[in-house]
Amino acid sequence: MQMRTLGNSGLKVSALGFGCMGLNFAYGKAMEKPDAIRLLRQAVEAGVSFFDTAEAYGPFTNEELVGEALAPVRDQVVIATKFGFRDGRSATGLDSRPARIREVAEASLRRLRTDHIDLFYQHRVDPAVPMEEVAGAVRELIGEGKVRHFGLSEAGVASIRRAHAVQPVTALQSEYSLWWREPENDVLPACEELGIGFVPFSPLGRGFLTGKIDADTPFAKDDFRSSVPRFSPEARQANQALIDLLGRIAAGKGATPAQIALAWLLAQKPWIVPIPGTTRLPRLKENLGAVDIRLGAEELRQIRDSLDHIQVQGDRYPAHLSAQVGR
């Protein structure tokens, strides 16, 4: 497995991480716990060293799962988790008060069965709490050795700069993929300027970029995608042009659409580390194969030119969640 460094922080991680949320949260039926633990340990054996969770996933149960799975190999992996929601539940609103940040850190340490959190993200910017106070609270935890690196998720450039001035931000985690390129406008340039790594979540478009989802694919009521405008049948049908593009490129490289989508992200910047998630070992192996795919300058130009002529349909979040991103 190739390694990458997140910005100027010195934090080295595998070129592809593992997004753990979908193991038991947001995408329908949860995996059986023994199966999920086995998959996470297989990921480590395959060279993955970067695992992403949050107290809000479950809530709480995803951290417990990750903690149990990775306890035997704790010194070999980097674990990222997040704070920022009231009572750890995204539906109850935001809460990044310093006292709450410390409370989350202590609870996450217990659930993760560790004495330190490698990367502690603010899950969403809280407009009720000055960013300087948030960064200051994490700085204190870093000084105590309970946290090693500070991160932000879905933050706008102004918030990133304010936080970074108090406590250097190691990584920004936001959605970025072939069907959501908005970070290219100002967030990625700011990360490059400030020496901040970038961690794309949903790098496979919540599964759509694998080519395994079409307009007729059903979603369970407890699958987050059932409420996402971009996953309406009409939007999926309209967005098929993007899958057709991926399929053509993949065929020419002897790869899969998912591998091309991940290889494209890896080719953008050397400090970008996608965190695809999966519940199946064959998909894990498929994703990791993207690390060995090289897209040349001409191929990247062709992809970009094609993307410029494809208008992706549908918002990426329901209206009530859209207001929480990009602050």
Q: Which residues are catalytic?
A: 57
Rounded mean pLDDT, 24-39 = 94
pLDDT above 80 for 162: yes
Mind listing the pLDDT tens digit for each residue in 63-77? 999 999 999 999 999
Given this model, what pLDDT does residue 16 score?
Answer: 98
Mind listing the pLDDT tens digit for each residue in 116-145? 999 999 999 999 999 999 999 999 999 999
Rounded mean pLDDT, 222-251 = 93
Q: Which of 49-58, 276-285, 308-317 has the lowest mean pLDDT?
A: 308-317
Q: How many CB atoms lie within 10 A of CB 248?
A: 13
Closest CA to 246 of 178, 176, 149: 178
Query: What is the rounded distance in angstroms from the CA atom of residue 64 to the CA atom of residue 101?
Result: 18
Better-scored residue on pLDDT, 224 or 280: 280
pLDDT above 90 for 264: yes
Query: What is the rounded distance in angstroms from the CA atom of residue 236 to the CA atom of residue 172?
Result: 28
> Which of the four pLDDT bands, split at 50, 70 and 90, describes residue 285?
very high
| Burial of 194 (C-beta count, 10 Å sphere; 0-12/13-18/19+) | middle
Rounded mean pLDDT, 255-270 = 97
Given this model, what pLDDT does residue 325 score?
Answer: 74
Q: How many CA atoms lie within 13 A of 67 on its CB side?
A: 19
Terminal CA-CA length for the chain: 35
Given this model, what pLDDT does residue 327 score?
Answer: 81
Q: What percent of the chain has pLDDT over 70?
A: 98
Domains and CATH numbers, the chain: 3-205+264-295 (3.20.20.100)
pLDDT above 70 for 201: yes
pTM of the complete model: 0.95
> Which of the four pLDDT bands, split at 50, 70 and 90, describes residue 326?
low
pLDDT above 80 for 323: no
Q: At what angle do helices 61-70 and 98-111 cross, to 10 degrees?
A: 50
DSSP 151: E
Query: What is the rounded distance in angstroms from the CA atom of residue 263 to the CA atom of residue 241?
Result: 19
